[in-house]
Structure 1
C-alpha cells in the first residue's frame, strides 16, 4: 500500500514543469514559511505567543532528535529513489527516509500551535500536510515516512502541551532575558 500511494502521487511528476516547480517549492520551502510564522509570533512581544514559540520549538527539537538519532537508524528504511525507478524532482542524499525530517518539523510546529491557537493551527496543519504530500510527489519519501513523522510529532506535541505548566519557568526565563536584551 505504501508503494501504491507513493506511485499515485509520483507518477504525476515530470508532466508539467510549472506544477513540478510549485511542488518543489512546497517540498522545500513551506517549513521556512512556518518558521517565519514562529518568528512573527515571537516578535509580537506577547508572552502567550512567546511561550507558544518556545514549546513549539522544544517539540520540534525533541521530535527531530528522536527521529534522526533513534528511529531512523533503527528502521533504516531506504528512500524511494534508491529502490525504484521513479521521477525524482529534487536532489537528496540516499540516507534513511523514515520518518521524514521536513514533515517532522512541519507537523511538530502545526500540532503545537493547534493545541493553543485553533485557527492558526489548522492553517499550519494544512501546510504540514502539503509539505508531506509534496515530499512524496518529488520522490524523496514514501507516504509511510510522512505518517510516521506526523504520529511522532503528535505524540511529542501532546506530551509537551500536557507538561507545559511544569516547564513554564524555562520559557518565562527566556522571555525575560530576551526583553532585557532588547531594551
Structure 2
C-alpha cells in the first residue's frame, strides 16, 4: 500500500512542467515560509507569541532528534528512488527516509501553533500537508515516511504543550535575555 500510494502521487509528475516546478518549490521551501512566520511572531515582542515560538522550536528539535538519532537509524528504510524506478524531481542523498525530516519539522511547528493559535495553526497545518504531499510527488519519500513524521510530531507537540507550564522558566529566561539585549542595543 505504501508503494501504491507513492506511485499514485509520483506518477502525476512529469506531465506538466509548471506543476513539477511548483511541487519542487513546495517540497524544499515551504518550511522556510513557516520558519519566517515564527520569526515574525517572535519579533512582535508579545510574550505569549515568543513562548509559542520557543515551544514550537523545542518540539521540532526534540522530534528531529528522535527521528534522526533513534527512529531513522533503527528502521533504516530506503528512499523510493533507491528501491524503485521513480521520477525524482529534486536531488537527495540516498539515506534513510523514515520519518521525513522536512515533514517532521513542518508538522511539529504546525501542531505546536495549532494548539495555541487555532487560525494560524490551521494555515501552518495546510502548509505542512502540502510539504508532505510534495515530498512524495517529487520522489524522495513514501507516504509512510510522511505519516511517521505526522505521528511523531503530533505526540511530541502534545507532550511539550502539556508540559509547558512546568517549563515556562526556560522560554522566559530567553525572552528576558532577548529583551535586555535589544534594550542595550537600541538605548545605547
TM-score range, shorter chain: over 0.9
TM-score by length of 2: 0.97
Distance in 2, Cα, partners of 1:140 & 1:8: 14
User: What is the deviation of 1:14?
Assistant: 1.1
User: What is the deviation of 1:15?
Assistant: 1.1
Aligned to 1:170: 170
Distance in 1, Cα, partners of 2:110 & 2:26: 16
Aligned to 2:43: 43
Root-mean-square deviation (CA, aligned residues, Å) is 0.3
Distance in 2, Cα, partners of 1:94 & 1:131: 19
Aligned to 1:64: 64
User: What is the deviation of 1:169?
Assistant: 0.3
Mapping of residues 27-38 of structure 1, within 5 Å = 27-38=27-38
Aligned to 2:150: 150
User: What is the deviation of 1:11?
Assistant: 0.2
TM-score by length of 1: 1.00
Mapping of residues 75-114 of structure 1, within 5 Å = 75-114=75-114
Give structure 1 stretches of 5+ with no counterpart.
Answer: none
Confirm or deny that 1:131 pairs with 2:131.
yes
Distance in 2, Cα, partners of 1:90 & 1:132: 14
